[in-house]
């Protein structure tokens, strides 16, 4: 057996991966908030039935209901009973408490670096994939949804489009990474004021990216996505100066 130097093994424990970050109730709450940020459950849409959602989250219905009750009383959800009832996602109550400050600098650079690795690559691979008619159509629907969004529901729909693009990349690991990057970005963006003019610009960029993907032009898709991300990067960085 070869020698194995300890190195900074205590520090390497960073890559352990916690089994539980808190109690199940809190983690469930977190996953639901994340799903809403990512547009998995866009504003105005119904959540899956509790029994279904509980199973998807790997959690008992009782615990899920505790979390849902919390979100409901915080104004994120509206519940209606009876057949064809359900739990509806309200517009994201965009509270700008806890604004970004200089202590967030490292986190911002972390997220931006990760994003610009993972998203352009996903766009490039998506362009390389041969898409079904349904997939193309879904892309366009998602894009239109972003276009007709207002300030209260823009971010989740935007996130959904980006994740949807990554999901075409034939690598589920990459798609998952993009979802994580997007979520982290949304968390940061939720802490700065919403700027109106950016939307029109973003929309044009989305259109260019989608065109490149639909035409199978991977190089362009990658480049355009990179530029698209640069906008957000400048926005976030600029907010600290």
136 and 214 in contact (C-beta within 8 Å)? yes
Q: Which residues share a beta bridge with 79? A: 87
Query: Which residue number, 61 or 136, has a Cβ lying nearer to DNA?
Result: 61
How far is the C-alpha of 33 from the C-alpha of 1, rounded, in Å? 48
How far is the C-alpha of 59 from the C-alpha of 51, rounded, in Å? 10
163 binds, options DNA, a copy of itself, none, Cβ within 5 to 8 A by partner type: a copy of itself
Collect contacts of 65-70 with beta carbons under 8 A, ≥24 apart: 66/25, 66/28, 67/25, 67/28, 67/29, 67/32, 68/32, 70/29
Query: Which residue number, 9 or 103, has a Cβ lying nearer to a copy of itself?
Result: 9
Query: Which residue number, 63 or 97, has a Cβ lying nearer to a copy of itself?
Result: 63
Q: Within 10 A of 39 (CB to CB), how many other CB atoms are there?
A: 26
35 binds, options DNA, a copy of itself, none, Cβ within 5 to 8 A by partner type: a copy of itself
> Minimum Å distance from CB 54 to a copy of itself?
10
Q: Within 10 A of 237 (CB to CB), how many other CB atoms are there?
A: 13
Query: Which residue number, 19 or 82, has a Cβ lying nearer to a copy of itself?
Result: 19
Beta strands per DSSP E along 35-132: 77-80, 86-89
Identify the sign of the CA torsion 207, 213, 218, 222: positive
> Minimum Å distance from CB 77 to DNA?
10
205 binds, options DNA, a copy of itself, none, Cβ within 5 to 8 A by partner type: none
How far is the C-alpha of 74 from the C-alpha of 92, rounded, in Å? 11
> Minimum Å distance from CB 134 to DNA?
23
133 binds, options a copy of itself, DNA, none, Cβ within 5 to 8 A by partner type: none
> Minimum Å distance from CB 64 to DNA?
7
Query: Which residue number, 179 or 224, has a Cβ lying nearer to a copy of itself?
Result: 179
128 binds, options DNA, a copy of itself, none, Cβ within 5 to 8 A by partner type: none
Residue 64: which H helix or E strand, with range? helix 61-73
> Minimum Å distance from CB 67 to DNA?
10
> Minimum Å distance from CB 228 to a copy of itself?
17
> Which residue in 75, 88, 112 sits closest to 230, CA to CA?
112
Q: Which residues bind DNA (CB under 7 A)?
A: 19-20, 23-25, 47, 49-51, 58-63, 65, 68-69, 79-87
Query: Which residue number, 19 or 106, has a Cβ lying nearer to DNA?
Result: 19
């Amino acid at each position: 057996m070869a020698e194995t130097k300890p190195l900074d093994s205590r520090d390497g424990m960073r890559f352990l991966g916690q089994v539980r970050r808190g109690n199940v109730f809190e983690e469930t709450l977190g996953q639901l908030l994340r799903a809403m940020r990512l547009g998995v459950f866009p504003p105005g849409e119904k959540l899956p039935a509790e029994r279904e959602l509980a199973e998807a989250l790997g959690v008992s219905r009782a615990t899920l209901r505790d979390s849902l009750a919390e979100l409901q009383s915080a104004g994120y959800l509206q519940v209606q009973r009876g057949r064809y009832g359900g739990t509806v996602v309200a517009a994201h109550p965009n509270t700008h408490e806890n604004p970004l400050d200089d202590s967030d600098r490292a986190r911002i650079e972390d997220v931006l670096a990760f994003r610009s690795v993972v998203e352009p690559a996903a766009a490039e691979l998506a362009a390389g994939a041969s898409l079904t008619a349904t997939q193309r159509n879904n892309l366009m629907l998602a894009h239109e949804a972003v276009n007709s969004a207002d300030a209260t529901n823009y971010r989740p729909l935007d996130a959904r489009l980006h994740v949807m693009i990554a999901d075409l990349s034939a690598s589920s690991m990459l798609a998952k990474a993009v979802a994580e990057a997007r979520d982290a970005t949304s968390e940061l963006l939720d802490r700065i004021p919403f700027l109106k003019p950016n939307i029109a610009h973003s929309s044009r960029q989305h259109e260019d990216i989608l065109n490149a993907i639909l035409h199978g032009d991977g190089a362009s898709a990658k480049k355009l996505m990179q530029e698209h991300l640069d906008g957000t990067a400048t926005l976030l960085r600029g907010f600290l100066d």
